[in-house]
Amino acid sequence: MTVFAEVTGWIVVPIVAALFLGRYLDEKNDSSPWYYLGLTSVAFVISCIGIVIVASKYIRQIERENKEKKEKEHHNERSSNK
Protein backbone atom coordinates (compact mmCIF):
# COMPACT_ATOMS: atom_id res chain seq x y z
CA MET A 1 0.00 0.00 0.00
CA THR A 2 2.88 2.35 0.78
CA VAL A 3 4.45 1.76 -2.62
CA PHE A 4 1.14 2.55 -4.32
CA ALA A 5 0.80 5.80 -2.37
CA GLU A 6 4.34 6.92 -3.16
CA VAL A 7 4.06 6.13 -6.87
CA THR A 8 0.66 7.81 -7.08
CA GLY A 9 2.09 10.90 -5.39
CA TRP A 10 4.91 11.04 -7.93
CA ILE A 11 2.35 10.93 -10.73
CA VAL A 12 -0.42 13.16 -9.41
CA VAL A 13 1.43 16.04 -7.75
CA PRO A 14 3.75 17.08 -10.63
CA ILE A 15 1.12 16.56 -13.33
CA VAL A 16 -1.66 18.45 -11.54
CA ALA A 17 0.69 21.28 -10.58
CA ALA A 18 1.93 21.55 -14.18
CA LEU A 19 -1.59 21.55 -15.58
CA PHE A 20 -2.77 24.37 -13.34
CA LEU A 21 0.43 26.42 -13.60
CA GLY A 22 0.63 25.94 -17.38
CA ARG A 23 -2.94 27.00 -17.87
CA TYR A 24 -2.45 30.05 -15.64
CA LEU A 25 0.73 31.13 -17.45
CA ASP A 26 -0.85 30.61 -20.87
CA GLU A 27 -3.82 32.77 -19.93
CA LYS A 28 -1.60 35.44 -18.39
CA ASN A 29 0.84 35.58 -21.32
CA ASP A 30 -1.62 34.73 -24.12
CA SER A 31 0.66 31.91 -25.23
CA SER A 32 -1.76 28.99 -25.33
CA PRO A 33 -0.85 26.04 -25.32
CA TRP A 34 2.93 26.40 -24.96
CA TYR A 35 3.37 26.73 -21.20
CA TYR A 36 0.70 24.08 -20.68
CA LEU A 37 2.42 21.60 -22.98
CA GLY A 38 5.93 22.44 -21.84
CA LEU A 39 5.21 22.16 -18.13
CA THR A 40 3.19 19.00 -18.64
CA SER A 41 6.14 17.45 -20.48
CA VAL A 42 8.53 18.44 -17.69
CA ALA A 43 6.10 17.05 -15.10
CA PHE A 44 5.97 13.77 -17.01
CA VAL A 45 9.76 13.48 -16.88
CA ILE A 46 9.77 14.33 -13.16
CA SER A 47 7.10 11.68 -12.56
CA CYS A 48 9.13 9.06 -14.42
CA ILE A 49 12.26 9.87 -12.44
CA GLY A 50 10.32 9.75 -9.17
CA ILE A 51 8.82 6.37 -10.02
CA VAL A 52 12.27 4.98 -10.83
CA ILE A 53 13.58 6.28 -7.49
CA VAL A 54 10.71 4.68 -5.55
CA ALA A 55 11.00 1.41 -7.46
CA SER A 56 14.77 1.27 -6.90
CA LYS A 57 14.32 1.89 -3.19
CA TYR A 58 11.86 -0.97 -2.82
CA ILE A 59 13.88 -3.32 -5.01
CA ARG A 60 16.92 -2.73 -2.78
CA GLN A 61 14.77 -3.30 0.31
CA ILE A 62 13.42 -6.59 -1.04
CA GLU A 63 16.91 -7.75 -2.04
CA ARG A 64 18.22 -6.90 1.44
CA GLU A 65 15.34 -8.81 3.09
CA ASN A 66 15.92 -11.84 0.85
CA LYS A 67 19.64 -11.79 1.63
CA GLU A 68 18.94 -11.65 5.38
CA LYS A 69 16.41 -14.48 5.05
CA LYS A 70 18.91 -16.67 3.18
CA GLU A 71 21.63 -15.94 5.73
CA LYS A 72 19.26 -16.83 8.56
CA GLU A 73 18.23 -20.08 6.82
CA HIS A 74 21.87 -20.95 6.19
CA HIS A 75 22.70 -20.25 9.84
CA ASN A 76 19.76 -22.43 10.99
CA GLU A 77 20.92 -25.27 8.70
CA ARG A 78 24.43 -25.11 10.13
CA SER A 79 23.06 -25.07 13.69
CA SER A 80 20.82 -28.09 13.09
CA ASN A 81 23.64 -30.12 11.49
CA LYS A 82 25.82 -29.87 14.60
Give yes or no for residue 11 having a pLDDT over 70.
yes
> What pLDDT score was predicted for residue 5?
93
> What is the pLDDT averaged over residues 28-57?
96
Residue-range domain boundaries for the chain: 2-81
> What pLDDT score was predicted for residue 74?
84
Considering the entire predicted model, what is its pTM?
0.78
> What is the pLDDT averaged over residues 54-79?
91
Give yes or no for residue 81 having a pLDDT over 80.
no
Distance CA 72, CA 64 (A): 12
- Mean pLDDT, the chain, rounded, equals 93
CA distances (Å), origin 2, targets 8, 34, 68, 71? 10, 35, 22, 27
